[in-house]
Amino acid sequence: MEFIAPVDAVFLLAESREQPMHVGSLQLFEPPEDAGADFAAQVHEKLLHCADIDPTFRKHPATVLGTPQLAWTYAEDVELDYHVRRLAVPGPGRMDQLVELASGLHGSLLDRHRPLWEIHLIEGLADGRFALYSKMHHALIDGVSAQRLLRRTLTSDPSATAARVPWHLPRTRRKAERSGVRAATRNLLSAATSGASVLRAAREALLRQQPFAAPRTMFNVPIGGARRSVVRSWPLDRLQQVKKATGSTLNDVVLAMSAGALRRYLVERNALPDKPLIAMVPVSLRSEDDDETNGVKVGAALCNLATDLADPLERLRVVSASMHDSKEVYRALSCNQTMALSALMLSPLALNLVPALIPWTNPTFNIVISNVPGPREPMYWSGARLDASYPLSIPFDGQAVNITLTSNAGNLDFGLVGCRRSVPQLPRLLDHLEDSLAELERAAD
């Protein structure tokens, strides 16, 4: 048994039926040319025989002295046939039916009496492809480390047919791990002893971002537990061309593309506020050689999306300047100081744990937009080619829609998740993303 680090415990404490706190992924695979009709069934059988399970995939919350969410305990026996399931899309097996099935899976809570993860192998698509929907609790893993974990199951060798599974992967060499108690204590002491620098950074951040107070929008409402997900891929080269023509970063272009889509969606509903929307942009605090998959190492940057501006290039300029300012605030801080500052800036979200207060409080930000790096070359799993990897993240109470994307070979794969009740016609946002990118391309040409 080990104590849960405070930052990880927040994701357990904040969870409710209306607000499941797991991150997910929908991966789409093309079987090899010589695969038979039972290829997916064979892969599923392989998975069930991978019974060596790493400790992270045995963890679930324990109750200590009558209080839950204080410590982790480890399951001695893990029922793989519960955690690894085989499903099928109903006929005629369209892509939208697959995404609808994944939406239902994404809206259900993980069982806290079992290790906090599930993987569903889904077949029945009319084009012969199959999918993997996976989800894992955010208290165990953040979005960046989840993508890294899934990436480690893949290979660039199409002839490799061994089933590499996320619950047991070869470990790379790294420093010895500290226990959860010692790591949490170290982080808290570091944050406490750097209080002056955190306060200075907080004051600078607030002064820089005070003009960008988030307005209330149709997204900033109490949410229900049912989810709707939509996905689409865009060629990476299209965004790279806008990046080169404007001298911005790829992430700036992603944010400006998203800002244009949100503006169009809100205008369509006569719901665009006069003030610009503010996005929370997660910033990974993991170094490139940090392959640890335990816990959460994410900071938060606030970005002015300039949705009040009609000109796409001016919108991109404001987005770039806003992200530059946020990065400058964090650049001089250590990892622990950055996490402390992020917690301070996002502390008003604690009010969202009381849904009745949401209509009476201003949102800290309007939407989360997260860009998670992925592989830049074609990847394979059990001999099947990865066609797409759509991240599915977390809408929060008071934050009814989430936009997350990742790179995969030559594409950017977008996954949008919204509250079914609060965000009508979510697929329209995909159309607006395309229109927004096309508008940027024309303006930058």
Residue 29 to residues 86, 133, 151, 249, 379, Cα–Cα distance (Å)? 15, 11, 14, 30, 10
In three-state secondary structure terms, 42 is helix
CA angle 203, 205, 208 (to 5 degrees): 105
| Residues facing 141 on adjacent strands | 295
| Residues facing 413 on adjacent strands | 233, 406
Specify burial of residue 273 (Cβ count, 10 A radius: 0-12, 13-18, 19+).
middle
Residue 14 to residues 55, 189, 274, 428, Cα–Cα distance (Å)? 24, 24, 31, 30
Give yes or no: 138 in active site.
yes
Asked whether the beta carbons of 369 and 260 are under 8 A apart, the reply is no
Widest distance between CA atoms in the chain: 65
What distance in Å separates the CA atoms of residue 91 and residue 158, rounded to the nearest whole number? 30
What distance in Å separates the CA atoms of residue 86 and residue 335, rounded to the nearest whole number? 40
403 alpha-carbon distance from chain centroid: 8
Least Cα distance to 168 among 151, 148, 153 occurs for: 153
Asked whether the beta carbons of 405 and 414 are under 8 A apart, the reply is yes
Return the structure tokens found at 122.
Answer: 């889904």
Residue tagged active-site, from 113, 138, 168, 324: 138
What distance in Å separates the CA atoms of residue 332 and residue 171, rounded to the nearest whole number? 32
User: Prior bond to 92 cis, omega within 30?
Assistant: yes
Q: Please list the active-site residues.
A: 138
